[in-house]
C-alpha cells in the first residue's frame, strides 16, 4: 500500500511541477522527507527509494514547465540552482573517492580539468554571442527581411546557434522589436550588447550600433586566440606546489640534516634562512596556520564560485542585480580598476551619444538614452547628474565638467571652442578612448607579469638557498677539519 501511495505522489508532483511549479517546489522537500521517514518506520525499502526520486523528479519537472518570458521564473531559477548544487556536491564527493588514493596531485589535476571545462564553456558562449550578433548585423546591412534571413541562416542545422536564431525569428514574426526578441529568444546574450541594441533601437541607429558591437566582440575573440606564454593561474599553482615540496623537505629531510650538523659541528645551529623557512612551514602546517588557511580557502572558493556565476549570467542593465551593484562599487573604488571601468564606460557612452546626436536629437534626450547602457553603476550616477543639470538649463560643457565626466567630453560640447564640430569630436573621442583602453590593458599586462616573475624568482631563490645552505655549512666544516 505504501508503494502505491509513493508512486501516486511521484505522479502528482511531476504534474504539479509542470503546471504549478511554485507550489511543487515548496512542498516537495517536506513530502519527500515525510515519506522517507514513514517508509523507514514501515521497513518499506521501495518506498524509501521513491521518496528522494519525488524531489528530483519535481525539480526536473519545474525546469521543464512552461512560463512566460516576462514572468519572474523564480521556481525555475531555484530548481536550477538546487540541481547545480547537488551535481557539484556529487562531483566533489566522487573526486574525493576517486582521487583520494592519488593524494593532492590527483586533486590538483581534477581542479585543472574542471577549470578547463569552465573556460571552454565561457569561450563557447562568447563565440555563440559573436555569431548571433554578426548574423543579425550582416542581414541588416544587406537590407534583408530579418526574420527570413535568420530562418535561412538556421536552416538545415540543429545546433544551439540555430535554435537561438529560430527563437529570435519567432518573436520577430510576432511583432516584437529586435531588442525584445533578443531578450526573449536569447536571454543569455551579453548584457552590454543587449543594452546597446535596445538603446540604439530608440534612435533608429541599429546598423551602426551592431557594427560597433561586432567590432568589440571580434577584438575580444582575437585577444582570446592569442598565445599566452604564462597562464594567470600559474603563480598560484607554483606557490601551492612549492609549499608542499617545502613541507615535505622540512618534515623528512631537514631534521636529518640538523642531526648531522649538530654531530659534526658540536651543536651548531641551522642557518638563519633555513630556520625561518622551517618556522614558517611548521606554523602553516602544524600550528595555527589552519586558522588562516580555512578562511582563505573559503574566500577563494566563494570568490571563484561567484566569479563563475557572474560570468555565466548576463548583466541586467535597467535593474542591476545586487551582486552586480556590489561588484561595480568595488571596481569603481579600487585604484587601478577604477580607471579601466571609467574608460570602458566612456567608450560606450560616447559612442551612443554620437549615434543619438547624429539623428538630430536633443542633447538631453541623448544623455537620457545613455542611462540604458550596461555601464558601471557609479558612472551611471554621474550621467544622471549631468542630465539633471542640462535639463535645469546649465551649460552642457560646464555640467559635464561638474559631473566629473572629464574635460575631453566637456571640450566636445563647448560651443565657444568647437561650435558645430561636436559629432566629429565625439567620433575622435570614441576612437581615443577605445585605443587608450586597449593600450592600458596591454601595458598593465606587460608590467604585471615581469613583476610576478621577479617575485616568483625571489621566492624560489630563497627556498633553494634555505634548503642547500645547511649542506654548504657541513661541507665547509669538513673542509676545515681536513685542511686546518
Q: Which residues contact 354 (CB under 8 A, 6 or more apart)?
A: 423, 426, 427, 430
Distance between CA atoms of 422 and 261, rounded to whole angstroms? 79
Distance between CA atoms of 305 and 54, rounded to whole angstroms? 28
Distance between CA atoms of 365 and 273, rounded to whole angstroms? 67
C-alpha cell at position 328: 561595480
Are the C-beta atoms of residues 49 and 2 closer than 8 Å to each other?
no
- Domains within the chain, CATH numbers bracketed: 2-99 (no CATH), 104-220 (1.20.81.30), 234-313+450-482 (no CATH), 325-420 (no CATH)
Are the C-beta atoms of residues 179 and 201 closer than 8 Å to each other?
yes
Distance between CA atoms of 133 and 412, rounded to whole angstroms? 31
Helix (H, G, I), strand (E, B) or coil at 165: helix
Distance between CA atoms of 168 and 149, rounded to whole angstroms? 11
Find the helix or strand (DSSP H, E) in which 406 lies.
none
Residue with cell 544622471: 384
Of 5, 28, 24, nearest to 15 (Cα)? Answer: 24
The pTM assigned to this predicted structure is: 0.63
Please report, in tens digits, the pLDDT of each residue of the chain (484 residues total): 778 888 888 888 888 888 888 888 888 888 888 888 888 787 777 888 888 888 888 888 888 876 544 444 677 777 877 877 777 777 666 666 665 555 555 666 666 666 666 666 667 777 788 888 888 888 888 887 888 888 888 887 778 888 888 889 889 888 888 888 888 888 888 877 888 888 888 777 788 788 878 777 766 665 555 545 455 666 777 777 777 777 777 777 777 777 777 777 666 677 888 888 877 777 766 666 666 667 766 776 676 667 767 676 777 777 787 778 888 888 888 888 888 888 888 888 888 888 888 777 788 888 888 888 888 888 989 999 999 988 888 888 888 888 888 888 888 888 777 777 788 888 888 888 888 887 887 787 778 778 878 888 888 888 888 888 888 777 777 766 655 5
Helix (H, G, I), strand (E, B) or coil at 216: helix
How far is residue 195 from each of residues 3, 155, 210, 315, 351, measured CA to CA in Å?
53, 28, 11, 9, 13
Distance between CA atoms of 369 and 192, rounded to whole angstroms? 14
DSSP string, 193-250: HHHHHHHHHHTT-HHHHHHHHHHHHHHHHHHHHS--SS-TTHHHHHHHHHHHHHHHHH
Are the C-beta atoms of residues 199 and 380 closer than 8 Å to each other?
no
Amino acid at each position: 500500500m505504501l508503494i502505491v501511495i509513493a508512486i501516486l505522489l511521484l505522479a502528482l508532483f511531476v504534474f504539479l511541477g509542470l503546471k504549478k511549479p511554485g507550489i511543487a517546489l515548496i512542498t516537495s522537500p517536506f513530502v519527500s522527507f515525510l515519506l522517507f521517514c514513514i517508509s523507514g518506520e514501515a521497513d518499506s525499502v521501495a518506498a524509501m527509494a521513491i521518496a528522494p526520486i519525488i524531489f528530483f523528479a519535481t525539480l526536473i519537472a519545474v525546469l521543464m514547465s512552461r512560463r512566460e518570458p516576462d514572468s519572474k521564473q523564480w521556481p525555475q531559477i531555484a530548481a536550477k540552482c538546487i540541481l547545480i548544487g547537488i551535481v557539484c556536491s556529487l562531483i566533489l564527493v566522487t573526486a574525493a573517492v576517486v582521487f583520494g588514493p592519488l593524494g593532492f596531485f590527483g586533486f590538483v589535476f581534477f581542479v585543472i580539468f574542471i577549470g578547463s571545462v569552465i573556460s571552454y564553456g565561457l569561450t563557447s558562449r562568447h563565440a555563440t554571442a559573436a555569431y548571433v550578433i554578426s548574423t543579425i548585423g550582416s542581414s541588416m546591412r544587406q537590407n534583408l527581411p530579418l526574420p527570413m534571413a535568420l530562418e535561412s541562416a538556421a536552416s538545415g542545422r540543429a545546433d544551439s546557434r540555430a535554435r537561438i536564431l529560430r527563437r529570435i525569428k519567432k518573436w520577430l514574426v510576432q511583432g516584437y522589436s529586435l531588442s525584445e526578441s533578443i531578450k526573449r529568444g536569447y536571454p543569455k546574450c551579453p548584457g552590454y550588447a543587449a543594452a546597446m541594441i535596445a538603446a540604439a533601437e530608440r534612435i533608429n541607429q541599429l546598423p551602426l550600433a551592431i557594427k560597433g558591437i561586432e567590432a568589440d566582440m571580434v577584438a575580444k575573440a582575437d585577444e582570446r586566440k592569442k598565445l599566452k606564454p604564462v597562464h594567470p593561474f600559474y603563480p598560484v599553482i607554483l606557490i601551492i606546489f612549492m609549499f608542499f615540496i617545502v613541507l615535505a623537505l622540512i618534515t623528512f629531510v631537514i631534521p636529518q640534516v640538523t642531526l648531522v650538523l649538530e654531530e659534526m659541528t658540536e651543536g651548531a645551529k641551522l642557518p638563519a634562512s633555513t630556520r625561518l623557512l622551517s618556522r614558517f612551514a611548521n606554523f602553516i602546517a602544524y600550528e595555527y596556520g589552519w586558522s588562516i588557511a580555512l578562511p582563505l580557502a573559503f574566500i577563494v572558493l566563494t570568490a571563484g564560485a561567484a566569479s563563475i556565476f557572474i560570468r555565466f549570467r548576463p548583466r541586467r542593465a535597467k535593474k542591476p542585480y545586487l551582486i552586480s551593484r556590489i561588484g561595480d562599487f568595488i571596481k569603481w573604488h579600487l585604484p587601478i580598476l577604477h580607471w579601466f571601468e571609467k574608460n570602458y564606460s566612456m567608450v560606450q557612452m560616447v559612442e551612443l551619444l554620437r549615434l543619438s546626436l547624429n539623428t538630430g536629437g536633443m542633447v538631453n534626450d541623448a544623455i537620457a538614452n545613455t542611462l540604458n547602457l550596461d555601464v558601471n553603476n557609479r558612472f551611471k550616477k554621474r550621467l544622471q547628474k549631468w542630465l539633471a543639470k542640462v535639463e535645469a538649463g546649465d551649460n552642457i560643457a560646464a555640467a559635464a565638467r561638474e559631473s566629473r565626466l572629464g574635460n575631453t567630453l566637456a571640450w566636445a560640447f563647448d560651443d565657444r571652442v568647437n561650435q558645430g564640430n561636436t559629432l566629429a569630436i565625439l567620433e575622435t573621442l570614441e576612437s581615443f578612448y577605445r585605443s587608450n583602453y586597449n593600450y592600458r590593458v596591454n601595458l598593465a599586462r606587460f608590467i604585471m607579469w615581469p613583476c610576478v616573475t621577479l617575485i616568483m624568482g625571489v621566492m624560489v631563490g630563497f627556498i633553494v638557498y634555505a634548503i642547500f645552505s645547511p649542506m654548504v655549512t657541513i661541507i665547509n666544516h669538513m673542509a676545515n677539519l681536513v685542511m686546518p
